[in-house]
Structure formats: structure tokens, C-alpha cells
């Protein structure tokens, strides 16, 4: 049963209605995600759609939030009806009557009535606010309803003349987290921090990557999170040079580093932490040099993460530090200006060893909703944004690369809450300096 406070979700629906009215009014249709078959008669664990959850708080499948905005505003939820037999098999359902009260909707109806009621709701609405392309089957239902209204034109009914992407209105809202969202994300960060610390204690030569992943997943669930926010990366040695390595099935070797990119999801909100540490508890000289470089790049990016700063500036700050370090360590030759100018060109530029951005939005999705640029301008950061800060360096074997750096992959990632005066790393409790990591692994 629902134990969440419904008022933030109702407030978001009201804000969305204001944006709809400014755009001419109409009806918003926001379905949740469909269930997906895994094989034969089993399904993947169900996870609701983030947009639908953001405006409803409702987590059951087969649900649609509808907001009607004309002279007045009405919010309604379509959901599965109460069904004693199905609840015996699948668990509790709110049903429309209980859901309307629990989630503070004006109306609630059975999802079985949706296809019949939608044409009536669309009739006379100037716009329909809907995300075309998310679900082809649901797109077809909306199209059928629109055609049904058009076929009633001789009765004096008119269909919406425009379909507007409701995500374009919700994305800016989702970018700025409220106090309740921030509190959940802090808790998610604490659970993920505990998981990374557990992994550092568990790692040793001879164990397997999947054993360390199991330690992480145990801590996620024991801490109260529902799921991993994404498939965990547990990459030892050369595997750390594969950015999205998820096989997690290789033995850990003495002298190698272990890169872990893992975060839990708590009450629908993601955390995202990466730590890189020595399997045997002690950094070698080459590992230490590259690690200090990545840590310095992160420090530079964190310092640039503040309200009013263009989103791209933390990345540029990190890149400048990384490129200079690559020159100092002999990974690149030439000048800093040349290394930066070549940029994403693989020959001579930093991109050869650092080929991803320094962060992304974080929230209900691990790569959260929201634009990064508007036209040619990077969006400015604002208080309430949550971003990751995750520079890295990945050195594959090559004839022109010093051999002592071969197969070293390092990434350091924290979750940063933009504040009024700068930013706060809500994952700062996870050991990160060389001294802290080595001390924690000895403990």
C-alpha cells in the first residue's frame, strides 16, 4: 500500500498543468512502462516509468496519468481494478477507489475503461501532451482515440490539432530536485557507499569479479534499496579499460586494480559511484601516478561545479588537468594547447585515453532526464541539480605507450548536489584518496 506523501506528486501535476495552460491547454497522457516478458511465462522484474512516477507516485503496471487542463484542471489515474484472484497470485492492487485517495487524484478509473474514455477526454482539447515513440502499442491506442474523435467531426467535435511532447515540460522540472528527492538520494548514496566499502574489504587476489559483485548486491538489498540503479561494472585489470564491462566473471590478480562502477536505486532514485583500488591493497608506482592524475582532474571538475556555471565547464576543467598529466607522464607528446585542440581526435589528443564526458544528470534515472544544451549554449547549473563527476583514464597496450601504464583503467565518480554556493558531494564518505583507500583495505 502507498506510504508516500502524495502532496509533492500533486504539486507536480499542478505545475505541469500551468505549463500546459501556457501552451494553449489540452490533455496530458502519461502512461507507465509496460511489463516485459523475459522468456516463456516469466517477466523481467517490473520497474515503472520515471515520468509517470514523477507525476503520480504510483508504481503498479498498467497505469496512466491523465491531466485535463481547460477552464479547470482535473487529474485522473487509470489503474488495474481490484481482483481477488490476481491479488492472490501477484500481490496487492490499490484499485481505482483506494488509489484516488492514496495518491490525491481528482478521479480514478479502471484501466479497462481507458480506451473508451480517452476519445471523450480528447474531444475539444486543443493539444494532447504525450510522448510519442516510447511505446508503439500505446502510441496505437492514442492514435485510435484521435481518429475516433476525428470521425465524429460532423457531430461538432474536434480533435486536438497538435501533439506536444510532455517530456519537454517535465524535464526542466525533474532537473531541480526538491527536499524530499534530495533526502532519498542522500540515503541511496549512503547505501552505495557502504557497498563500495564492503567491496574494498572483500577484494583480494584469487577471488572472482562476480564474488565482489555479490558483496555489492548484498549491501544494496540489506540497506533497503530495491534494485541496482544499473548493471554493476566490476572490472579487474585490463577489463577496466572497457567502459561498459559487465561480464564480471574474471579472476582478480595480484598487482591489478579493480574498477567498480555501482549504485543502488532507492524509492525510484539512483545513486552512481565509481571507485578504483588495488586488489592487493597497495597502489604500485604507475597506478599511483595515474590515480593521482584522475583525482586531481575530479577535484578541478568539482571546483567548477557551481550554480550559474555552464554545464560543460567542469568537463573542460577535468580535461585540462588530464591532458597536462598525460603530457607529464609521457602518454602524449607536444603541447597542452595541441592536446586540447586535437581533443576527440584519437591521434595526439587526450581522447585516446579519456573518451567520455565527465558527468551526467542523476535522479529518477541514472542518466537522468533533461537537456544539456539549448541550441549552441550549454545549460547553466542551478541549485538543486544533481550531477555525477567522473573523470577517468584508460590505457591500452600500444607501441608508443610506456609499458608500465598498460592495461590500467581508472575512474573516480561521485554524486554532486549543486548548492547555492557550490556543490556538495553526497558520496564523499566513500574512501577516495590513496591514503584512505589503503587504510580502509588494511582495516
Q: Is 360 a catalytic residue?
A: yes
Catalytic site includes residue 83: no
In the block, cell 567520455 appears at 356
Per annotation, catalytic residue among 272, 365, 368, 415: 272
Q: Catalytic pick from 100, 164, 174, 411?
A: 411
Cα(325)–Cα(59) distance, integer angstroms:
47
Query: Has 404 been annotated as catalytic?
Result: no
Which residue in 394, 414, 415, 424 is the catalytic one? 394
CA distance 261 to 218: 15
Q: Which of 413, 414, 415, 424 is catalytic?
A: 413
> How are strands ordered across the β-sheet holding 414-418?
386-389, 414-418, 423-425
The active-site residue, picked from 86, 112, 367, 403, is 367
Instruction: Note if 211 is an active site residue.
Output: no
Active site residue 165: no
Contact 14, 73 (CB under 8 A): yes
User: In the annotation, is 411 catalytic?
Assistant: yes
Q: Which residues of 222-245 are buried (b: 16+ CB within 10 A; e: fewer)?
A: ebebeebbbebbbbbbbbbbeeeb
Of residues 213, 256, 261, 414, which has the active-site annotation?
A: 261
In the set 209, 215, 219, 390, the catalytic residue is 390
The pair phi, psi for residue 185, each rounded to 5°, is -65, -30
Q: What are the b/e assignments for 267-285, b being 16+ CB within 10 Å? A: bbbbbbbbbbbbbbbebbe
**Whole-angstrom Cα distance, residue 181 to residue 12?**
13
The three grid cell numbers given for residue 392, joined into one nine-digit string = 577517468
Cβ partners under 8 Å of residue 278, min gap 6? 255, 256, 257, 258, 284, 287, 437, 438, 441
Q: Which candidate in 80, 350, 360, 424 is catalytic?
A: 360
Known active-site residue 272? yes
Contact 25, 17 (CB under 8 A): no
Ramachandran class of 213: left when φ > 0, alpha when ψ lies in -120 to 50, beta otherwise: alpha
Among 244, 288, 372, 403, the one annotated catalytic: 244
Annotated active-site residue 97? The verdict is no
Select which of 40, 41, 136, 347 is catalytic.
Answer: 41
Provide the edge-to-edge strand list for the sheet that holds 233-236. Answer: 233-236, 257-262, 273-278
Which grid cell sits at 217? 548486491
Buried b (16+ CB within 10 A) or exposed e, 6-37: bebbbebbeebbebbeebebbbbbbbbbeeee
- The β-bridge relationship of strands 127-129 and 26-31 is parallel
Q: Vertex 73, ends 48 and 53: CA angle to 5°?
A: 10
Note if 94 is an active site residue: no
How far apart (Å, rounded) are the C-alpha atoms in residues 221 and 230?
14
Whether residue 41 lies in the annotated active site: yes
Q: Give catalytic status of residue 316 as yes or no.
A: no
Query: Taking phi first (over 0 means left), then psi (-120 to 50 degrees means alpha), and beta for anything else, what does residue 370 get?
Result: left
Q: Known catalytic residues?
A: 41, 244, 261, 272, 356, 360, 367, 390, 394, 411, 413
Amino acid at each position: 500500500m502507498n506510504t508516500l506523501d502524495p502532496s509533492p506528486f500533486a504539486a507536480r501535476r499542478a505545475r505541469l498543468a500551468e505549463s500546459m495552460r501556457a501552451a494553449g491547454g489540452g490533455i496530458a497522457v502519461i502512461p507507465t512502462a509496460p511489463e516485459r516478458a523475459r522468456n516463456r511465462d516469466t517477466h523481467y522484474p517490473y520497474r515503472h516509468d520515471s515520468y509517470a512516477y514523477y507525476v503520480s507516485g504510483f508504481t503498479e503496471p498498467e497505469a496512466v496519468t491523465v491531466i485535463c487542463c481547460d477552464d479547470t484542471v482535473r487529474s485522473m489515474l487509470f489503474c488495474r481494478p481490484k481482483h481477488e484472484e490476481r491479488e492472490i497470485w501477484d500481490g496487492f492492487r490499490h484499485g481505482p477507489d483506494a488509489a484516488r485517495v492514496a495518491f490525491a487524484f481528482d478521479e480514478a478509473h479502471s484501466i479497462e475503461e481507458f480506451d473508451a474514455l480517452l476519445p471523450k477526454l480528447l474531444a475539444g482539447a486543443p493539444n494532447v501532451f504525450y510522448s510519442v515513440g516510447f511505446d508503439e502499442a500505446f502510441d496505437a491506442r492514442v492514435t485510435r482515440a484521435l481518429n475516433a474523435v476525428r470521425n465524429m467531426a460532423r457531430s461538432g467535435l474536434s480533435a486536438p490539432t497538435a501533439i506536444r511532447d510532455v517530456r519537454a515540460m517535465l524535464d526542466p522540472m525533474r532537473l531541480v530536485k526538491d527536499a524530499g528527492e534530495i533526502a532519498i538520494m542522500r540515503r541511496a548514496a549512503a547505501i552505495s557507499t557502504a557497498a563500495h566499502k564492503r567491496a574494498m574489504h572483500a577484494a583480494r587476489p584469487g577471488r572472482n569479479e562476480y564474488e565482489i559483485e555479490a558483496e555489492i548486491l548484498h549491501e544494496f538489498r540489506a540497506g533497503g534499496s530495491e534494485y541496482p540503479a544499473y548493471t554493476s561494472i566490476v572490472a579487474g585489470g585490463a577489463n577496466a579499460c572497457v567502459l561498459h564491462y559487465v561480464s564480471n566473471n574474471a579472476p582478480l590478480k595480484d598487482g591489478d586494480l579493480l574498477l567498480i562502477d555501482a549504485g543502488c536505486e532507492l524509492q525510484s532514485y539512483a545513486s552512481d559511484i565509481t571507485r578504483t583500488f588495488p586488489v592487493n591493497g597497495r597502489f604500485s608506482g604507475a597506478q599511483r601516478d595515474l590515480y593521482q592524475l584522475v583525482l586531481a582532474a575530479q577535484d578541478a571538475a568539482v571546483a567548477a561545479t557551481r550554480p550559474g556555471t555552464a554545464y560543460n565547464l567542469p568537463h573542460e576543467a577535468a580535461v585540462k588537468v588530464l591532458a597536462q598529466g598525460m603530457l607529464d607522464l609521457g602518454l602524449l607528446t607536444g603541447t597542452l594547447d595541441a592536446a586540447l585542440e586535437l581533443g576527440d581526435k584519437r591521434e595526439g589528443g587526450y581522447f585516446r585515453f579519456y573518451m567520455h564526458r565527465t558527468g551526467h544528470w542523476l535522479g529518477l534515472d541514472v542518466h537522468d532526464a533533461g537537456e544539456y544544451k539549448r541550441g549552441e549554449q550549454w545549460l547553466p547549473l542551478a541549485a538543486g541539480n544533481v550531477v555525477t563527476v567522473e573523470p577517468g583514464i584508460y590505457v591500452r597496450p600500444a607501441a608508443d605507450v610506456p609499458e608500465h601504464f598498460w592495461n590500467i583503467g581508472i575512474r573516480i565518480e561521485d554524486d554532486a548536489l549543486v548548492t547555492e554556493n557550490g556543490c556538495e558531494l553526497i558520496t564523499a564518505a566513500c574512501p577516495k584518496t590513496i591514503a584512505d583507500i589503503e587504510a580502509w583495505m588494511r582495516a
